[in-house]
Amino acid sequence: MNINGKIIVVTGAGSGIGRALSGILSKRGAKLVLADMNEAGLTETKASLAAPEHATTVVGDITTSEAREAIRDSAVSTFGGIDILVNNAGVVAVGPLSEAEDSALQLMVNVNLLAPMQLTRDLLPILEKSKTPALINMGSMFGDIAFPLFAGYSATKFGVRGLTDALRRELAPKGISVTYIAPRAAKTGATKAFEHLIEPMKMKLDEPEVVANSIAVAIEKGARSSYPMGPERFFVFMQRLFPSLVDNSIIAQLKSMK
């Protein structure tokens, strides 16, 4: 798919991967509807674009119907429709599940999993009118390999992977391409929540621009999924065929931290 001229909605565009992706898509000629709760962040993202005149911003919480309606109305009134939806917005909380607060768990479920379901549902009637409709869901390597201390986050990303597989099959008759993105952790503001775990758990982090570029490539190729290059792909293979080996490796890492 040629990104030039495509109308693309990007949630979580006010920082991190969302900002980096918006920049890449703008350079490739996309018309952008950028959504985020962070108004100042959205303003900075738009100002950094190669073609800010071809972008509009929507400030709001995508877990609310009001924000989702605003995204829909802004896309239609500004550009006349939507070609691609990128469900990128996400939050993370870490620590033992026994210590997790209800509010943190609920927020992850609402933002990471429920909001993509709802926004996709709300925008499908418009996406179906596009000649080249596509849905891009942001998952995680934690959606394949569940890490201790990330139980709630991993659960939501496993859910996103299942949602994506189901929608790929459900929407295929309508000609809508559906792609699952599974990046490693990226060096964003969210990293602060687990920076104390990066070294002991041997986590490798990518720059947001690296992840964003992989998303753009996946869009252009109409890929089924996108995983990072490197040993993570091998671990995904091992997880699916020999999960006990992955159990033992990760448990050993966890024990070494104590």
Residues 92, 83: Cα–Cα separation, whole Å? 28
Smallest CA-to-CA distance from 191 within 12, 10, 17, 13 is with 17
Collect all residues with Cβ–Cβ distance below 8 Å to 192 and sequence separation of at least 6.
Answer: none
CA distances to 105, 119, 148, 153 from 96, rounded to whole Å, are 12, 30, 8, 12
- Host H or E run for residue 214: helix 208-221
Look up residue 37 and give its two tokens. Answer: 């709760």
What string of DSSP letters covers 173-193? Answer: GGT-EEEEE----BSSGGGGG
Residues constituting the chain: 258
Catalytic residue among 79, 142, 153, 194: 153
Taking residue 129's Cβ as centre, other Cβ atoms within 10 Å add up to 13
180 is catalytic: no
Tokens representing 97 are 């599940």
Distance CA 191, CA 205 (A): 9
Quick count: other Cβ atoms within 10 Å of Cβ 157?
A: 26
Cα 149 vs. chain centroid, distance in angstroms?
20
Residues sharing a CB contact under 8 Å with residue 210, sequence separation 6 or more, in sequence order = 186
Query: Which residues participate in catalysis according to the annotation?
Result: 153
